Amino acid sequence: MALKPRHLVVVAIAMAALPALVVGTVFATEDSFGWRPLFERTMRLATQQKADPGELAHILVETGDAATADKYYARIGQKIGFDIQASKLDGLLEYLGYRGLRAVDLETLEPALLMPRDQQGLVALGNAVESPKDFKANAALTVDAFKSDILLVARFFAPKIVDFNANPDKTPGHDLHKPGWRKVVRLKALPKSAASVKGDMESAYILFNFFQDDPKAFPFSKKSSDGTTLINQSVNNQIIMVPRTFKKEVEDSVYYLDYQPFSVDRYKVGKALNAAFDTLDPKSSKQDYFVPTACSQCHGHDTERGGPSDKGTFPFGKVNYLDTDQWYDMMDFDFPATKANHDVLFDGGRDHAAAQYKAAVGVLWKLNSEIAQQNSKATHPDGSDAFKINAVKKWLSLHGRGEGPADILQRSIGSSRWGSADRPLLQMLSRYCFRCHSSMYYDVFDRSAVVKEKGSPKHPGPILTYVQSGFMPQGRKLDSTEKDKLLQLLKDLH
């Protein structure tokens, strides 16, 4: 039987006792094999190489490659009427109808300034942008348009992008891991824009990614005094565009793009996100994750291992929801110095009863409402990704009035609820497993799904097996005490 590319799983085993990296390619098909044969073959490979898999083996995220990215950009660019491969991020903004608002404006200006609600605010924004002339000449950028939420912005703590495998920071007053921060900008495709007319586009999400090791410092970017460079610029700029309509299960439900930092020819188009999603060498813990394969694996095509459908498209692609509650979990778990200086919602302030904080939550609520609608249109016919919609709906139900972080037990989804006795396990699952298992295969806040994935004493499931072997969690390594604690709590779960 011929194997399709998405049916190949590559497992890399770094042999500390060997002179080089040994890569074993393990073949499995969704039709013929489940996770267990893959695991068993990998273990046999480790045995052959006389390696301890608990120390040396890692299942890698599908990274994709540059050639596939080029073909993808060419295909979707023709479909939406935009030359992606020759573009810069400013060009994408013009395509969406935002001439006069440049990428550097979106990256550096304050969210309140970017979302004016009266004429005075609009004038202030027009004077603050890099090209006031172009901004004022754009008849689509009116107070009424901004009040209708053509543009939404939020800044937040982002544990998902943290490199947990890098050598720890021992500087007094710093967290051991360098905190990540993100700024999301959601833009509606404006009427009469090329995106609306040619591309049938509804909206675009731009995600700026920042890192700041000093917990007392401003974690986002600012222009230098001469305006030619950025201080602490976004290291990578991820884009998801959402079409207004698409043929369900046939056409692309989203489009993935990537743009390089300001310093690279003012946001020249890129093909990959350089990140630390897998546990690699601490001295070189990041690698490239290419459009569209790596994007799609974490954004809806997880059961396809990042591959397209049989039509060559990505009809199950999704915008991942924004889970503020889990970000608070992570700040509590691993970032005490950051917590002492900043709230998870950077623009909300520290007082969760204040109007400022409720307004910041309100922006996230609007974004997640739109994300829930998008997700519901891009589901698999077998319902295997319903947990993703259930999760965002749960968040919406808990934060409709601007409420602050919800207790971990309040956030259960699925048919079985986590109870007070489960709290220690759920905390560990949130800390170590949510990064992947909130958007891939199942959600750790679904108790019944975790019980199923755990398996039985006679037939252990993937959670127990992969944690025991050292394959999971991806992106960080547990010491023996923490690993044994997690395994015991899982074994005690019924």
- Give residue-wise pLDDT tens across range 203-217: 999 999 999 999 999
Q: What is the pLDDT of residue 477?
A: 85
Non-local CB neighbours of 275 within 8 Å, separated by 6+ positions: 161, 163, 236, 286, 287, 289
Angle of the 480-491 helix axis to the 447-454 helix axis, nearest 10: 100
**Half-sphere exposure (CA, 13 Å, Cβ side) for 328?**
13
pLDDT, greater one: 238 or 41:
238
Instruction: Indicate if 182 and 279 belong to the same structural domain.
Output: yes
Instruction: Indicate if 98 and 205 belong to the same structural domain.
Output: yes
Residue 466 lies in domain:
407-493
pLDDT, greater one: 153 or 61:
153
pLDDT band at 28 (very low <50, low <70, confident <90, very high): very low
Q: What is the pLDDT of residue 466?
A: 87
Count how many domains the chain has.
2
Q: Can you read off the two tokens belonging to residue 472?
A: 């999971």
Per-residue pLDDT reduced to its tens digit, 330-364: 999 999 999 999 999 999 999 999 999 999 999 99
Amino acid at the residue 29 = T
Inter-residue contact 470 to 279 (CB < 8 Å): no
Q: State yes or no: pLDDT of 4 exceeds 60.
A: no
Bond preceding residue 159 cis, omega within 30 of 0: no
Q: Can you read off the two tokens belonging to residue 388?
A: 């993703």
Indicate whether 316 belongs to any domain.
yes
Q: Which of 283, 302, 322 is the last residue of a domain?
A: 322
Q: Which of 284, 305, 322 is the last residue of a domain?
A: 322
pLDDT band at 284 (very low <50, low <70, confident <90, very high): confident
Instruction: Indicate if 187 and 315 belong to the same structural domain.
Output: yes
pLDDT band at 276 (very low <50, low <70, confident <90, very high): confident
Indicate whether 44 belongs to any domain.
no
Per-residue pLDDT reduced to its tens digit, 400-452: 999 999 999 999 999 999 999 999 999 999 999 999 999 999 999 999 999 99
Q: What is the pLDDT of residue 274?
A: 85
Out of 128-142, 250-264, 429-443, 450-464, pick the least confident: 450-464
Indicate whether 83 belongs to any domain.
yes
Instruction: Indicate if 218 and 120 belong to the same structural domain.
Output: yes
Inter-residue contact 399 to 324 (CB < 8 Å): yes
Q: State yes or no: pLDDT of 22 exceeds 90.
A: no
Instruction: Indicate if 89 and 230 belong to the same structural domain.
Output: yes
**Residue 132 host element (H or E):** helix 132-137
Instruction: Indicate if 288 and 187 belong to the same structural domain.
Output: yes
Q: What is the pLDDT of residue 34?
A: 54
Q: Is 163 helix (H, G, I), strand (E, B) or coil?
A: coil
Q: Can you read off the two tokens belonging to residue 446?
A: 């679904």
Q: What is the pLDDT of residue 12?
A: 38
Q: What is the DSSP string of 13-46?
A: EE-TTSSSEEEEEEE--TTT--HHHHHHHHHHHH
Indicate whether 177 belongs to any domain.
yes
CA distance 477 to 153: 34
Q: Is 180 helix (H, G, I), strand (E, B) or coil?
A: strand
pLDDT band at 32 (very low <50, low <70, confident <90, very high): very low
Q: What is the pLDDT of residue 35?
A: 60
Indicate whether 487 belongs to any domain.
yes
Q: How large is the average pLDDT for residues 315-328?
A: 99
pLDDT band at 33 (very low <50, low <70, confident <90, very high): very low
**What is the rounded average pLDDT for all residues in the chain?**
90
Q: How large is the average pLDDT for residues 468-490?
A: 91
Q: What is the pLDDT of residue 401?
A: 97
Q: What is the pLDDT of residue 382?
A: 96
Amino acid at the residue 292 = P
Indicate whether 241 belongs to any domain.
yes
Percent of the chain past pLDDT 70, that is, above it, reads 87
C-alpha distances out from residue 218 to 160, 224, 322, 324, 346, Å: 19, 14, 22, 20, 10
Indicate whether 37 belongs to any domain.
no
Q: Which of 322, 349, 384 is the last residue of a domain?
A: 322
Instruction: Indicate if 286 and 424 belong to the same structural domain.
Output: no
pLDDT, greater one: 10 or 238:
238
Indicate whether 2 belongs to any domain.
no
Inter-residue contact 6 to 304 (CB < 8 Å): yes
